[in-house]
Amino acid sequence: MSRAEPARGGAEASTAPVRLTLPARPDSLAVVRQALTAMAEVLGLGEAVLEDLKVAVTEACTNAIVHAYPACDGGPPGPLEVHAWPHHGGIVVMVRDQGEGLSPRDSRASAGLGLGLQLMATLAAEVRIASGPGRGTAIWMTFRR
């Protein structure tokens, strides 16, 4: 253990980070949910936190699947990255794509849409977003017991 790394005990110390890179397709969602469910159970996060985590992460992944990559001529989908690691008795999940980045929406044209980020902010203890043209989008969500 280095001086910069705090001492951790219990399940958090023995739980390895999850790092997934999958095609940005709907069938990848099941793999993401299974991996995060297993990690949350090992960490003892409880059923309510697990349900919030699954809904918020599914929303973030779905956004990447639907919006990140322009429709191409039958080519392979772009990558969907999901990283998760234990953090102070909870879990941090990062969902990242290499797509177009978030763009402002015309609220009149998208009435009723765009609630996914609000949903993530409601379900997670903390949400951070980094996005830009040519950089893709990364969303970090922290879930606590």
Mean pLDDT of the 113-134 span = 90
- Per domain, the residue ranges of the chain are 17-143
Distance separating the N- and C-terminal Cα atoms of the chain: 26
pLDDT of residue 11: 65
Q: Which residue has the higher pLDDT, 110 or 139?
A: 139
Q: Are 119 and 58 in contact (CB under 8 A)?
A: no
Distance CA 71, CA 120 (A): 25
Amino acid (1-letter code) at residue 118? Q
Instruction: Give the chain's mean pLDDT.
Output: 85
Q: Which residue has the higher pLDDT, 14 or 25?
A: 25
Mean pLDDT of the 33-45 span = 95
Please state the separation of Cα 126 from the chain's center in Å.
12
pLDDT digits (tens, 9 = 90+) for 91-113: 999 999 999 887 655 444 444 45
Residue tagged 């956004």 (tokens)? 63
Distance CA 94, CA 77 (A): 19
pLDDT of residue 69: 86
CATH topology of domain 17-143: Heat Shock Protein 90 (3.30.565)
pLDDT of residue 45: 95
pLDDT of residue 134: 78
Mean pLDDT of the 107-120 span = 68
Residue tagged 């763009």 (tokens)? 103
Q: How confident is the model at residue 42 (pLDDT cuts 50, 70, 90)?
A: very high
Q: Which residue has the higher pLDDT, 69 or 57?
A: 57
